[in-house]
Structure 1
Amino acid sequence: MSILEGVESVLGMFGEGRHEISFNDVMDEFGLAKSSASRLLAQMVRYRLLDLHPATRRYRPGMLLIRAAQAATQAHPLDQQCREILATLSDSTGFTAYLSMLDGTDTVVLQRLNGSNPVQVLSPPGARRPAFTTAMGRVLLSRLTEAEFHARYGVAGDTSLPQAPAGCPATVGELRERVATALHERSAVAINEGMPGIGAVATTLADPVSGDVRGLCLSFTAMQVSQAQAATLRDTLVRAVASVGQRIGDPLWRAAGNAISR
């Protein structure tokens, strides 16, 4: 394994949703000798790709990596427009706001904006969740073509989804129906699905030139918001995103037309 292959492999462990890794994690996962793992990790710490916590002796993403990731997301014009929408809504509601993208069958958090409410729903940037378990995931899946959806989940509707939590689709067919609803409504609401006690409203925005799609979400505890309030919150999010979507030429929102403005 070359040094660059080693760096890619170690950083890929964080891409799987881990927040920290240990020396033994690296040795066990890649079958490295103790000396090879020690040399690789020491080099990554030296060049600020990793940070070694002095007390726990566990490794976390280093400052150079964090700054590069922040620059990448903030430099994208679509991400900047999404952040402005989410900042406004988070400030007005007090709820946690998330900007995410779809990676295979997972959602990945790109940015998080903490609200002012004393009870916050917090997942760090880089956190991953199975797309079928969340409102965010289902609106992102609704942007896929039929062929793209089948490539990820297969065509058999009775195929079971892995360890489906209560309230979530249990089969590919059920997921397809929920995704079709998200496409029709251009949004999704999920309360006590996937994460008990947690609720969220979500929608999407796409760059008509690059085709990049982002998911925008407001998250809250289930006891903070009733079903009726969640529906109102969803409508507020949709109107805010529709306005920008129509301005930048996102086909989904251009097609929505007058139905959104009423």
Structure 2
Amino acid sequence: MSTLANAMDVLRLMAHLQRDVTVTDVVAELGWPKSSASRTLSKMAEFGFLERDPVTRAYRPGEVVMEASYYFRGSRSASSLLETELDALVAETGYPSYINVLDGSETLVVQMRAGSAGALQVYNPVGTRAPAFATSMGRAILARLSDREVAEIVDPRFEVRYGHAPRTHEELMARLASGREKGWFMSKGEFVKNVAGVSASVIDPASRQIYGIGIALPAQDLTDELNQHFGQRVRAAAMNVGRRIGDSYWLDFEDRGEQQKHQNQAS
């Protein structure tokens, strides 16, 4: 099992660095002894998981990994993986779940899963639009753009006010920064009164399409405790997809809140 775990760590390191790796990289990044790093890389190359560049002597994904990757890409697109997560979100929360994309300055619902029986429903059918800056879904998507791109898309829309939605460029950018750090976004009584949303986002590296994924629920149902719980669950859904398709944000993501918690416990 340790051999498989080591191989997994090497492949994840490649995904994180987005380049070929050397023995020195593995020692520096994973903290392994040089002998262990060299032995693991050599064995992975021997069985086709890696191949070694004859000039640089660095290792890259080998035939076995590439063949599996081609199969995965052909059978599971980013959108299909997100749809699987939608089903899981509904099953676990009982609330409707959505996939949205950005269309101009608005978000557009492209996939929806109805909530389970017993939960008061917030129903936004496919084709529903909303101003991006005034929803959790929209802010999750906007957070994946540069500040300049966000300003060009959103700034002209602040003349219309929606509940507790940001009312200035500076307020919006502060919320985007906070959400980027947590990995998820929340809205409550903004574009639609008495409706709340919890969302995250994924970028498909192949197409550069940004997808938002999240749930919608009555605002009175979203207590502080559930806000944290649903936020972490929606974040996990996006992370599951993002790491499988090579979204660099999720490959590099570290939960600073959890890090701080562990540091406090250690001290």
Larger radius of gyration: 2
Q: Any conservation in 1 of the 2:78–2:241 contact (CA below 8 Å)?
A: no
Query: Secondary structure of the residue that 1:111 maps to in structure 2?
Result: strand
**2:239 equivalent to 1:242:** yes
Partner of 2:24: none
Partner of 2:80: 80
Partner of 1:173: 170
Q: 2:198 aligns with which of 193, 198, 201?
A: 201
Query: Superposition RMSD on alpha carbons, in Å?
Result: 2.2
What letter is aligned with 1:131? A
Q: Distance in 2 between matches of 1:76 and 1:99?
A: 16
What letter is aligned with 2:136? A
What letter is aligned with 2:238? V
Partner of 2:94: 94
What letter is aligned with 2:190? E
Q: 2:217 aligns with which of 220, 227, 238?
A: 220
**For 1:196-222, what per-residue CA distance to the aligned partner results, in whole angstroms no more than 9, with x for missing partners?**
211110000111121111000111112
Q: Distance in 2 between matches of 1:257 and 1:194?
A: 30
Instruction: Output aligned runs, 1:137-216, within 5 Å.
Output: 137-154=138-155, 161-216=158-213
Q: Any conservation in 2 of the 1:101–1:109 contact (CA below 8 Å)?
A: yes
Partner of 2:135: 134
- Are the structure 2 counterparts of residues 92 and 103 from structure 1 closer, same or farther at C-alpha, using a change threshold of 3 Å? same
What letter is aligned with 1:237? V
- Are the structure 2 counterparts of residues 163 and 151 from structure 1 closer, same or farther at C-alpha, using a change threshold of 3 Å? closer
Q: Distance in 2 between matches of 1:261 and 1:84?
A: 27
Q: Distance in 2 between matches of 1:260 and 1:77?
A: 31
Number of corresponding residues? 184
Partner of 2:265: none
Partner of 1:113: 113
- Are the structure 2 counterparts of residues 95 and 148 from structure 1 closer, same or farther at C-alpha, using a change threshold of 3 Å? same
Kindly, what percent of the aligned residue pairs are identical?
27
Displacement of 1:258: 7.0
What letter is aligned with 1:148? E
* Consecutive unaligned residues in structure 2, runs of 5 or more: 1-74, 260-267
Displacement of 1:115: 1.0
Q: Any conservation in 2 of the 1:239–1:261 contact (CA below 8 Å)?
A: no
- Are the structure 2 counterparts of residues 240 and 213 from structure 1 closer, same or farther at C-alpha, using a change threshold of 3 Å? same
Q: Any conservation in 2 of the 1:242–1:260 contact (CA below 8 Å)?
A: no
**For 1:81-124, what per-residue CA distance to the aligned partner results, in whole angstroms no more than 9, with x for missing partners?**
11100111111211000100011110000011001144110111
Query: Secondary structure of the residue that 2:216 maps to in structure 1?
Result: strand
Displacement of 1:128: 0.6
Q: TM-score, normalised by structure 2?
A: 0.64
Q: Any conservation in 2 of the 1:202–1:217 contact (CA below 8 Å)?
A: yes
**For 1:24-74, what per-residue CA distance to the aligned partner results, in whole angstroms no more than 9, with x for missing partners?**
xxxxxxxxxxxxxxxxxxxxxxxxxxxxxxxxxxxxxxxxxxxxxxxxxxx
Displacement of 1:76: 8.3
Query: Secondary structure of the residue that 1:189 maps to in structure 2?
Result: strand
Q: Distance in 2 between matches of 1:249 and 1:259?
A: 21
The farther-off stretch of 92-101 and 160-169 is 160-169
What letter is aligned with 2:96? T
Q: Distance in 2 between matches of 1:131 and 1:90?
A: 23
Displacement of 1:150: 2.7
- Are the structure 2 counterparts of residues 114 and 160 from structure 1 closer, same or farther at C-alpha, using a change threshold of 3 Å? closer
